[in-house]
Amino acid sequence: MKPVSLIQFLIEERRAGRINAELSLLIEVVARACKRIAVATSKGALGGVLGNAGSDNVQGEAQKKLDVISNEILLEANAWGGHLAACASEEMEDPQPIPDMYPKGNHLLLFDPLDGSSNIDVNISVGTIFSVLRCPEHVTEPKVEDFLQPGTQQLAAGYVVYGPATLLVLTFGHGTHEFTLDREVGSFVLSRRDIRIPEQTAEFAINMSNQRHWEAPMQRYVGELLAGKEGPRGKDFNMRWVASMVADVHRIITRGGVFFYPLDAKIKAKGGKLRLMYEANPMAFIVEQAGGAATTGRERILDIQPAGLHQRVPVFLGSRGEVEVATRYHREADVAHA
């Protein structure tokens, strides 16, 4: 079969009436920016881009040079095309308006420019995560509250993983599709259409070093997985933790599995570790569109009414069967303590 490029795929989505020209352009621009980020990350030490930038982001986390570079690449690429009303990023406290000299569009773009950035300096996969919302009607200068829409309102979501190959995974709410960057030609080519995550799995991803800080239902759930064949689950489970959400989610998209960043005593006051608007929501949309499930352990992620641009939430996502068991344990524990 003839390879299908991202551009061709987007034209077909437009013809099918699933996206409009502006959203198509937006995705093209984001994909082009991510190709530049792929080039920057692949240079490693030779590009002079490793190490800390010497600054902190809005979350008080040390910024890597590549965090800052990737953020600038995405902002610059998206400023002039006329497809956006504003951008918001993990690296910036407030939304970034489109400069007055450029035309404005009807979309809002949120992104984590370089997720898993603690892995950059050790040459392990990192990625970009993005989410697209519609700008509310008659809003010309979008404010934070215009971005605070539940994940169900997303028009598109995607991530790019910069690994041995650079891959783009994308959804418009009609299935989840994967594109592989053909480095010689410089274009993304469709490599998997309508990805399906197996419903059952024997593989889980979690940072086990936090075990003693977890809530009781999480202790119970993971305890049962670790008990293996002899335990209540009656089968052995395997564990993987890359510590780059994009890489862990991509493994799940590819061969099934389940990813947890639950609440723990250290992060309880913040509400969780991962950010709702540009990590949990886009990943939940992608995973649900591939037949998986995504919850906070208590509720569906996509149903959350956001309260802040940088809000954090617990994240349970992947193979439906395991997300449901872990979520049930939390709900049962809440009922028992009500």
Instruction: Give the binding site for ligand FDP (CB under 6 A).
Output: 115-118, 207, 243-245, 248, 274, 279
Instruction: Please say which residue, 279 or 322, places its beta carbon nearer to ligand FDP.
Output: 279
Helices (H), the chain: 6-15, 21-43, 65-79, 144-147, 216-227, 245-255, 281-289, 320-336
Instruction: State the minimum distance, in angstroms, from the CB of residue 270 to ligand FDP.
Output: 12
Helix axes 6-15, 21-43, angle to 10 degrees: 160
**Nearest residue to ligand FDP on Cβ basis:** 245
Instruction: Please say which residue, 41 or 117, places its beta carbon nearer to ligand FDP.
Output: 117
Instruction: Please say which residue, 262 or 306, places its beta carbon nearer to ligand FDP.
Output: 262
Q: Helix, strand or coil for residue 19? A: coil
E-strand stretches of 51-183: 52-56, 62-64, 84-89, 96-97, 107-115, 126-134, 156-162, 166-171, 176-182
Rounded-to-10 torsion of CA 112, 114, 116, 120: -170
Q: Helix, strand or coil for residue 267? A: coil
Instruction: State the minimum distance, in angstroms, from the CB of residue 87 to ligand FDP.
Output: 18
Instruction: Please say which residue, 9 or 278, places its beta carbon nearer to ligand FDP.
Output: 278
Kindly give the pairing relationship between strand 312-313 and strand 274-275.
antiparallel
Between CA 292 and CA 253 the distance in angstroms is: 9
Instruction: Please say which residue, 116 or 318, places its beta carbon nearer to ligand FDP.
Output: 116
Phi, psi of 123 (to 5 degrees): 60, 40
Instruction: Please say which residue, 9 or 214, places its beta carbon nearer to ligand FDP.
Output: 214
Amino acid letter at 208? M
Instruction: State the minimum distance, in angstroms, from the CB of residue 164 to ligand FDP.
Output: 18
Instruction: State the minimum distance, in angstroms, from the CB of residue 288 to ligand FDP.
Output: 19
Instruction: State the minimum distance, in angstroms, from the CB of residue 244 to ligand FDP.
Output: 5
Instruction: State the minimum distance, in angstroms, from the CB of residue 127 to ligand FDP.
Output: 8
